[in-house]
Amino acid sequence: MNQRVLIGVGGGIAAYKICEVVSTLFKSGVEVQVILTNSAEKFISPLTFATLSRHQAYTDDNFWQPIYSRPLHIELGEWADIFLIAPLTANTLAKLTHGIADNLLTNTILASTCPVLLAPAMNTDMWEQQTVQKNWQMLLTDGRYHGMDTASGLLACDRVGAGRMAEPWEITAYVQSLLHTRGQRDLAGKKVLISTGATREHFDPVRFIGNPATGKMGLALAQAAKHRGAEVTLVYGVAHWNLPLGVRGIPVVTSAEMRGAMMAELHNHDVIIMSAAVADVKPQNYNQEKLPKAALPSTLALEPVGDIIAEISQHRQPQQKLIGFAAQTGDIITPAKEKLQRKKLDVIVANPVDKPNSGFASDRNQAVFLDYQGRQQEIPDCTKLQLAHYLFDFIRVGD
pLDDT band (50, 70, 90) for residue 1: low
Please tell me whether residues 124 and 204 are part of one structural domain: no
Count of structural domains within the chain: 2
Please tell me whether residues 169 and 298 are part of one structural domain: no
Please tell me whether residues 157 and 284 are part of one structural domain: no
Please tell me whether residues 224 and 158 are part of one structural domain: no
Report which of residues 35 and 70 the model is more confident about: 35
For CA atoms 310, 332, 237, 233, give the dihedral sign: negative
- Return mean pLDDT, the chain: 94
Please tell me whether residues 28 and 158 are part of one structural domain: yes
Tell me the average pLDDT across 182-200: 97
Q: Does the pLDDT value for residue 399 go beyond 80?
A: no
DSSP string spanning 318-367?
TT-EEEEEEEESS--HHHHHHHHHHTT-SEEEEEESSSTT-STT-SEEEE
Please tell me whether residues 15 and 128 are part of one structural domain: yes
Which residues span the domain enclosing 339?
A: 191-395
Q: Does the pLDDT value for residue 396 go beyond 80?
A: no
Q: For the domain that residue 228 is a member of, what is the CATH number? A: 3.40.50.10300
Alpha carbon 236 to its chain centroid, in Å, reads 14
> Which range has the top average pLDDT, 155-169, 243-257, 290-304?
243-257
Q: Where are the beta strands (DSSP E) in 1-97?
A: 4-9, 31-36, 57-58, 82-88
What pTM, to 2 d.p., does this model score?
0.95
* Catalytic entry in 19, 114, 157, 382: 157
The per-residue pLDDT for 34 is: 98
Give the pLDDT confidence of 5-17 residue by residue, as tens digits. 999 999 999 999 9
Please tell me whether residues 271 and 144 are part of one structural domain: no
Cα–Cα distance measured from residue 379 to residue 391, given in angstroms and rounded to the nearest whole number? 9
Tell me the average pLDDT across 344-366: 91
Output b/e per residue, 30-61; b: 16+ Cβ within 10 A: bbbbbbbbebbbebbebebbbebbeeebbbbe
The per-residue pLDDT for 359 is: 77
Question: Does 186 map to a domain?
Answer: no
Last residue of a domain, one of 152, 181, 210: 181
Give the pLDDT confidence of 123-156 residue by residue, as tens digits. 999 999 999 999 999 999 999 999 999 988 877 7
Cα–Cα distance measured from residue 319 to residue 321, given in angstroms and rounded to the nearest whole number? 6
Cβ atoms of residues 145 and 174 within 8 Å: no
Q: Does the pLDDT value for residue 323 go beyond 80?
A: yes
Residue 157 known to be catalytic:
yes
Please tell me whether residues 282 and 147 are part of one structural domain: no
